[in-house]
Structure 1
Amino acid sequence: MDDMTDDRDMPAPGDMAEPLRRALGERYLTYALSTITDRALPDARDGLKPVHRRILYTMRNLRLEPTGPFRKCAKITGEVMGNYHPHGDQAIYDALARLAQDFNMRYPLVDGQGNFGNIDGDNPAAARYTEARATAAAMALMEGLNEDAVDFRPNYDGSESEPVVLPAAFPNLLANGSSGIAVGMATNIPPHNIDELVAACLHLIKAPNAREETLMEIIPGPDFPTGGVIVESREAIAEAYRTGRGSMRVRAKWEVEELGRGQWQIVVTEIPFQVQKSKLIEKIAELVTARKVPILGDVRDESAEDVRLILEPKSRSVDPQVLMETLFRQSDLESRFSLNMNVLIDGRTPKVCSLKEVLRAFLDHRREVLLRRSRHRLGKIDARLEVLEGYIIAFLNLDRVIEIIRTEDEPKPVMMAEFGLSDVQAEAILNMRLRSLRKLEEMELRRERDALTAERADIVALLDDEGMQWDRIADQLRDVRKQFGKQAPGGARRTLFADAPAVEDVPLEAMIEREPITVVCSQMGWVRAMKGHIALDSDLKFKDGDGPRFIFHAETTDRILLFGSNGRFYTIAGSNLPGGRGMGEPVRLMVDLPNEAEIVSLMIHRPGAKVIVASSAGDGFVVPEDEVVAQTRAGKQVLNVKDGVRAIACKRVAGDHVASVGQNRKMLVFPLAELPEMTRGKGVRLQKVPFGAAPLDASASGLSDVTTFTLADGLSWKDPAGRTRTETDLADWIGKRAGAGRMAPRGFPRDNRFNG
């Protein structure tokens, strides 16, 4: 039995045993390298990934030239997938469609006919509906493929051959940019202007050791197809180009359009690169709805083929610069483009390159292409000259040649022996047409031989002289500049440069139109803002079973502080309060006040002021108002309360003494200086009151209210008849903090509250 078990554990013949760690590591490394070199990173020489290169090569084979007819994208996609790229047809079509999108490609390589998507983020139509052909830029990338300019390799099944890299007449990597995510690395290269790129290449040819700063003077930064304004500092851009990594801020281009009678609107004509216009408008609309930019009234899209976004201010008094700076911070009207020039520098090795290194890789590639094309042409010339020499010998001995052909059974070896011809020359003579035996043809042959001889001499001189090679490359680049440079249609720079204006952070209050309001909050917590300052004793309507609780005058620029019985402060913008036409809205919809917590106080925030807070356990302290302002709906915990304890008072500090009263109607007065100033905590004992003991009457347990006052002016409260009563002789109640106090004066309110 044991023997059988051992046999089953032994590997079968042909199987290979290896540790799982090594097996997984080697296979994952193979996958990672494949992703890096064959999918995600572009080649520094032609700026293309394999799928893009195969798409262009297939279109060339289908003769889809710029002046030729269009073909269905489904046909192109099928050819690419069947011959060179055995991946999903949708992935191939997406790559093809992107090459045709003028809002993604600075110099589109595909001329599309039909719906290829738009700047709003809509997807292209299906491949069966759209048609395409190559552009002049794409043909410039493939110029010289028939002249042995680059290496070819077998396709995935060995039935076809494909170029390893394209000859690339211009630096496409920088001209159109690239992006991709591989395994453990990524690339993100912005588009640039060809005119500037060619100028930089010409400078590098003259001065191979040129400094990065000099190249920056020629190429100041990216040139996005969607335009926009780069507001990054020159130093930051230079550092990004020097290291190959960095980022730069791109803003929308805008202008103020006058509407007459003092009215105006902002028109956005260009948006940042790779920002979807529809999502941008949705985001701005959300800002308007949420009143996060109160000085913005409305946004609408009037775009046709161009971009035209309209931003309407809330009022004519708004500063356009302040409005736009606010939107730049809170929306994609300003975006940050992260530059990461991680490329395959020689087609195999990924490397983060500087601007100079990328241009140098392109120029070295162009020199290799020039040498290969020159050697290919030299071979063609030598072959043609050999044939021409044979033709000329035949013309000089035409009668004898004709005689040999007519009389000899095997004329070829006889001719080769008699005239010293090569096999190629003899074969060419035998295949010559009778009509070519004219005298004029001999003159043409001699003229062609002389021209080819002179061309051959030039090529030999070119191959022997590196200076001549770089001059020839410079001439080719100048031709590219004429075809695609700033003088060509669409060749002028689109992205501008500017310094971001030094606009200080504008507080929310400064963006709100200042208007008087009356804040009304009911006993059940329904809050509203009546327009204007109405009389505080006005007869207002409330829901059945509800009544008034807080009412005070404020302005839309004010921040309203709400103090809950859970000891938390909440902040509500006056401009965000619902209008006063109805009953308002529950305040719990605006802030996260728990259902079991009650509203203790509602007041206007006064910067620099202080408030006193107290709990039912008799503890409290003074806190600066600036420390209680909350930035979120969740509020800010200030007074710590345990189970069974609740916050019962929040009063603005005014005076030099504190008065507190318990549920047992005992009152204590002590100097305000005895109370500490804190930002958060339980506080210190204000007054010793019965609290928490089971036998006690709940109505007589705990602290009831607290207030501050000036001792010289006396302590005031309203009696049951509504008259204000002031007690100036408080000697009987003055004591030390944490004392028990004495029974309140006669006429003190029965609810044990100071009503102050």
Structure 2
Amino acid sequence: MPVVDVIPLHEAARERYLNFALSVITSRALPDIRDGLKPVQRRILYAMFQHLRLYPDARHRKSATIVGEVMGKYHPHGDAAIYEAMVRMAQDFSLRYPLVDGHGNFGSIDGDAAAAMRYTEARLRPLAMELLEELRRQTVPMRPNFDGTLFEPVVLPARFPNLIVNGASGIAVGMATSIPPHNLGEVIDALLYLIDVPQAPLEVLVERFIPGPDFPTGGRVLNTPASLLEIYRTGEGAIELRGEYQLEGKTRLIITSIPYGVAKSDLIEKIAEHIAAGKVPQLTDVRDESTDEVRIVLELRRGADADAAIAYLLRHTPLQMRFHVNLTCLVPTENPEVAVPRKVDLKTLLQAFLEFRMKVVVRRLQYDLEQLERRIHILRGFEQIFGALDEAIRIIRSARDKADAAQRLMHRFQLDELQADAILETKLYKLSRLEIAAIRQELEEKEKQAAALRALLADEAARWRLIREELQAIKARFADKRRTTIAGPDEGFAYNQEAYIVDEDVYVIVSRDGWVKRQRSYTDVQSIRVRESDAVGWVLPGSTRATVGFFTNYGRCYTTRIEALPSTTGYGDPVQKLFDFSDRERVVGVVVFDERALPQPMPSPKTEPELFEDRGEPQVLGLHLVAITRLGQTLRMPIDSFREPSTKNGRLFMRLETGDEVLGVEVARGNENVCLASRNGYVLIFPVAQIPPVRSAAKGVIAMRLGKGDEVLGFTLASAAREGLEVETTRGRREIVRITKFEVSRRGNRGRQIIRRGQLARVMLPPVEIRFNGQR
């Protein structure tokens, strides 16, 4: 029977997941700090260089050929991933300095995908050769490929810091990287300074040489210098990036650059959606006039505020976004083939490249010296047999074969096997006197070169000078001007939501069942459409820029702009569509916070004292909201506390006891009387000034003292003698509670009983209809 090993599931799962995580981190997602490449990118460049010879002066080859070469020899993980990686290295809007020269459709800044690999062609760019050329001189360690048939470089011998220059992004298991691109000239200047001053603080490097990222699509960085320095010090943070724009004439805004990673077509689509929805009334149209440069044209209305339009787009479209920096990469250990993930700062990135560069230069010099010494050794062999050339020829002619000739020459002239083989492979005419002179001259030159290399290997300062010269040569050949502007914080655009609402007068209509809408006009309340069995509850005027508050039976107020209400002559929408109402929560009061729809506040007693002579109550000036509950509690609060839009959860204005609920909310000037009635037939009138005002949510005070089993049916605020609360008894009789029939009492009384038999059935609540300027 086969042997079965029994292992705990949790141990097997942990071990396999850790192996998977390690593979993703080290072999897929994170770049190496030395050459700035992920394994798939490195393998693509190596295959193009080593096997396909796709140098910048070579003809383009089909991308399918390149992908097949990489997948078959080095990266057996699917052709799609390889092709996508190669496409990105060819896009000048993805990499600040592309490494692949693509021929054909390699995608666009609009977000278009590249053509299939069978249609496109590619070769290496000159800058990519700066990453690869020194491979010929054994400058980096090699390791076997996946099947052990070939060798591939552990890292490329980069001559410039590709990780900082082109950046990188990737998501591994439990970690990620997001490194922004930078300007090549600025980075090299920082490296040159760091060579001269190894202890230079990070502050100097950032302030003098690398002020911030340089994205391939341009844009403006809005961070302060201090925040950018903190990002470079900690290795993480957010960069505020904004597209650039300019005013052309009086009716056009031109967007000239967009944030990094944003598809131009997506940005235009977002802007068009906002314009079509009327959310940016300053703009009438958007169109794309881009060629090689970005040019998005925004048409302004005549006389419109361009700053307001830009402020809206910056807030609601990808024209401004955040680039989250995470300087995590693979850092080598003592074993050159093993690297570990680590979050580093900017100076560490620069120093790591310089240390790597020094190791590459040392290995390159050692390789060159070995090749020179090999050639010198052969030339000395030629020189040694020159004096006995005829004898050497006789030895060769008398030998049985090449091996015998080599042995005889080695014995006669004290040569080694390498020298003997070189002599035997040399054509006879090269052993003439003229050629021997050339050999001696070459020997002299090679010895001088070897001496120079030995001096370089023995002098670290000289090697740093060599590295400096090579960096300066790369800067002179490839550096260009900065594309991204480091602008700092911009206080020029204050977002004001009212600027994007078309100012028009409408009527807010709310039904008793809580359906809301807005209409520009209506003839009379009976003409307003409501659902069957529903009725109009409130008709209140206001500007679309004003706000409206919905007060509910659960003691909460929900405020929104009138512009947000559906504009229709139909039924409208349920108020629950705008807010997060609780179960059985309903609207019991509506207030439009437009000054023209509100009553005039009480005048000051200093100017009109006759209005205050007979009150005997403390007067609180300004408009207030009065609420009364079913169990007889009341509350008065300033109206200004509810003007601003709320969240979907609203604001609490009254704390209710269990089983209690708010019956209604009305606006008070301060000189009204509260008229209310209870189910057991009691009515009470008292001045609204007797309700003490509060500024935050509270339980309130007693409005009417109720008997056992009694409850308040309703209330109203009466400011004139003939105004009052109409009630109906269970026998159908109607009565109006007003000061002409019932005396004004004090808050907290039980009131006067108006019915001996039966109860009050309901209060008659006609629609609250207000015209502009507070006229009912």
TM-score by length of 1: 0.84
Residue of 44, 57, 61 corresponding to 2:46: 57
Structure 1 match to 2:730: none
Partner Cα separation in structure 1 for residue 636 and residue 72 of structure 2: 79
The yes-or-no answer on 1:446 pairing with 2:432 is: no
Is the Cα contact below 8 Å between 2:283 and 2:301 reproduced in 1?
Answer: yes
> Any idea what the Cα deviations from partners look like across 1:468-517, whole Å, max 9, x if unmatched?
1111111111111122112xxxxx21111112222575442244344444
Aligned to 1:336: 322
SS at match of 1:483: helix
Instruction: Specify whether residues 352 and 529 from structure 1 end up closer, same or farther in structure 2 by C-alpha distance, changes over 3 A only.
Output: same
User: Match for 2:317: what amino acid?
Assistant: S
User: In the superposition, relative to structure 1, how do residues 589 and 267 fare at CA in structure 2: closer, same or farther (>3 Å)?
Assistant: farther
Structure 1 residues 666 and 426: CA distance shift in structure 2, 3 A: closer
Matched with 2:133 is 143
Q: Does the aligned pair in 2 maintain the 1:174–1:189 contact within 8 Å?
A: yes
Amino acid at match of 1:569: C
Matched, 1:83 2:94: no
1:369-426 CA-to-partner distances (Å, cap 9, x unmatched) read 1111111111111111122223334444443333333345444344334433333222
Match of 1:310 among 268, 273, 297: 297
1:561 alignment partner in structure 2 = 549
What one-letter code is carried by the residue in structure 2 that aligns with 1:70? H
Q: Is 2:449 aligned against 1:455? A: yes
Taking a change above 3 Å as real, the CA distance of residues 310 and 586 of structure 1, as seen in their structure-2 partners, is same
Q: Which secondary structure does the structure 1 equivalent of 2:253 belong to?
A: strand
Residue in 1 that maps onto 2:350: 359
Distance in 2 (CA, whole Å) between partners of 1:119 and 1:134 is 21
Q: Which of 464, 477, 485 matches 1:496?
A: 485
8 A Cα contact 2:517 2:565, kept in partner: yes
What's the offset of the Cα at 1:290? Answer: 5.9
Structure-1 separation of matches of 2:765 and 2:415: 130
C-alpha contact 1:269 1:309 (8 A) present in aligned 2: yes
Alignment of 1:604-623 (within 5 A): 604-605=592-593, 609-623=623-637
- Answer yes or no: is 1:527 the counterpart of 2:517: yes
Q: How does 1:319-334 map to 2 (within 5 A)?
A: 320-334=306-320
Matched residue of 1:112: which SS? strand
Aligned equivalents of 1:32, 1:622: Cα separation in 2: 62
Determine if the alignment matches structure 1 residue 659 to structure 2 residue 674. Answer: yes
- Partners of 1:733 and 1:741 within 8 A in 2: no
1:734 counterpart = 2:745: yes
1:677 aligns with 2:694: yes
Alignment RMSD (CA, Å): 3.7
1:262-301 correspondence to structure 2 within 5 Å: 263-288=250-275, 295=282, 297-301=284-288
Bigger mean CA deviation after superposition, 385-394 or 70-79 = 385-394
Q: Give CA deviations for 1:509-563 in whole Å, capped at 9, x if unaligned.
A: 24434444454567784633327xx9x8799665797986544442232112234
Identify the residue that residue 391 of structure 2 maps to in structure 1.
Answer: 400
Quick one: which of 47, 53, 57 aligns to 1:67? 57
Does the 8 A contact of 1:519 with 1:554 survive in 2? yes
Name the SS of the counterpart of 2:448 in structure 1.
helix
What does residue 474 of structure 2 align with?
Answer: 480
CA-to-aligned-CA distance 1:418-454 (integer Å, 9 cap, x gap) = 4333332222222222343454423322222222111
Q: Which moved more, 1:201-210 or 1:587-596?
A: 587-596
User: Aligned pair in 2 of structure 1 residues 634, 235: CA closer, same or farther (>3 Å)?
Assistant: closer
Mapped partners of 2:52, 2:331: distance in 1: 30
Q: SS where residue 159 of structure 1 aligns?
A: coil
2:771 is aligned to: none
Describe the superposition over 1:150-195 as per-residue Cα deviations: whole angstroms up to 9, x where unpaired. Answer: 1111111110011111100100010111122223322221111111
Q: 1:641 to 1:129 in 2, by over 3 A?
A: farther
State the distance in 2 between where 1:99 and 1:679 align.
Answer: 60
Give, in whole Å, the separation in 1 of the partners of 2:344 and 2:582: 56
2:242 counterpart residue number: 251
- For residues 594 and 586 of structure 1, what CA distance do their matches in structure 2 show? 17
User: 180, 186, 209: which one pairs with 1:218?
Assistant: 209
SS of the aligned residue for 2:251 comes to: strand
AA in 1 matched with 2:636:
V
Unmatched tracts of structure 2, length 5 or more: 333-337, 596-621, 728-735, 756-761, 769-775
**Residue in structure 2 matching 1:153, options 134, 143, 146:** 143
The one-letter code matched in structure 1 to 2:112 is D
Separation in 1, partners of 2:763, 2:438: 127
Instruction: Give the drift of 1:228.
Output: 0.9
Query: What is aligned with 2:107?
Result: 117
Q: Distance in 2 between the 1:547 and 1:465 partners?
A: 96
- The CA distance in 2 between the partners of 1:423 and 1:753, in whole Å, is 118
- Corresponding position of 1:5: none
SS at match of 1:118: coil
Alignment check: 8 A CA contact 2:624 2:670 kept: no
Preserved CA contact (<8 Å) 2:682 2:750: no
TM-score by length of 2: 0.82
1:37 partner letter = T
Output aligned runs, 1:582-731, within 5 Å. Answer: 582-583=569-570, 585-586=572-573, 588=575, 591-592=578-579, 600-605=588-593, 609-629=623-643, 630-633=645-648, 635-636=650-651, 638=653, 647-662=662-677, 664=681, 666-677=683-694, 679-680=696-697, 683-688=700-705, 702-707=712-717, 709=719, 716=723
Distance change in 2, residues 1:293/1:611 (3 Å): farther
CA contact (8 A) 1:147 1:373 kept: yes
Per-residue deviation, residues 253-297 of structure 1 (Å, max 9, x unmatched): 111222xxxx42322221111223343344444545666655555
Alpha-carbon distance between aligned partners in 1 of 2:658 and 2:268, rounded to the nearest angstrom = 48
Equivalent residue letter for 2:264: K
Q: Report if aligned partners of 1:705, 1:753 keep a CA contact under 8 Å in 2.
A: no
Indicate if the aligned counterparts of 1:227 and 1:273 stay in contact, CA closer than 8 A: yes
Q: Which shifted more, 407-416 or 31-40?
A: 407-416
Partner Cα separation in structure 1 for residue 384 and residue 167 of structure 2 = 57
- SS of the equivalent of 1:225 reads coil
Separation of aligned partners in 1, 2:154 and 2:494: 54
How many residue pairs match? The answer is: 713
Asked if the contact 1:404/1:415 (under 8 Å) is kept, the reply is: yes
Residue 715 (structure 1) shift: 6.3
Give the structure 2 partner of residue 3 of structure 1.
Answer: none
* Mapped contact 1:572–1:590 kept (Cα < 8 A): no
**What is the Cα deviation at residue 69 of structure 1?**
1.8
> Who is 1:4 aligned against?
none
Alpha-carbon distance change, 297 to 589 in structure 1, aligned in 2, over 3 angstroms: farther
Q: Residue 236 of structure 2 aligns to which amino acid in structure 1?
A: R
Find the residue that maps to 2:177 and give its secondary structure: strand
Q: Per the alignment, in what secondary structure is the counterpart of residue 337 of structure 1?
A: strand
Q: 1:416 to 1:548 in 2, by over 3 A?
A: closer
What amino acid does structure 1 have at the position aligned with 2:230? E
Q: Percent same amino acid at aligned positions? A: 37
Q: 1:679 to 1:411 in 2, by over 3 A?
A: closer
Are residues 634 and 298 of structure 1, via their aligned partners in 2, closer, same or farther at CA, if it must alter by over 3 Å? farther
Shift of 1:368: 1.0
Which ranges of structure 1 fall in alignment gaps of 5 or more residues? 1-7, 487-491, 694-700
Query: Within the alignment, does 1:233 sit opposite 2:224 as a pair?
Result: yes
- In structure 2, relative to structure 1, the CA distance for the partners of 1:743 and 1:733 (3 Å cut) is farther
Letter in 2 for 1:483: R
